[in-house]
Amino acid sequence: MNPSALILLVVAFGFLYFVLVRPQKRRQMSQQQMLRGLKEGDEVVTAAGIYGEVTGFEEDDVLVRIAPEVEVKVARRAIGAIVSRPEETDGVTADEPVTAPEPQTAEEREDLQDPHGPGRTDS
């Protein structure tokens, strides 16, 4: 095997390590830290997309309240993320949809462009 092929092979493995392996390890570490920092009262979303509040712990399981008087036991590793509480911004909460203004009709657009005002035509 010639030296340039060996160098190319080493560079290829190094590239794959930095592109695939290292980011995956970093994600696993951050997931483990999140699960270690989990505490009662945290709002979480499971890997299945169920939102709820942590109410307790049992060995490798987490008790999550998903509705009033409805509590489910979820594997700790099935917790996908801790959800931050919605913050008020200008009277709009994160649960409220943000809507765009109503589109103008053709007549309204023409009235805005007409230098003589609405409804006037000089022919």
Instruction: Report phi then psi at 28, rounded to 5.
Output: -65, -40
First to last CA, the chain: 87
Tokens of 117: 């005002």
Q: Where are the domains of the chain?
A: 1-36, 39-86
Phi-psi map region of 49: left, alpha, beta (phi>0 left; psi -120 to 50 alpha): left
What are 13-69's pLDDT values in tens digits?
Answer: 888 888 888 888 888 888 888 888 889 999 999 989 999 999 999 988 999 999 999
What are 87-103's pLDDT values in tens digits?
Answer: 544 455 555 555 556 66
Q: What number does CATH give the domain 39-86? A: 2.30.30
- pLDDT score, position 111: 60
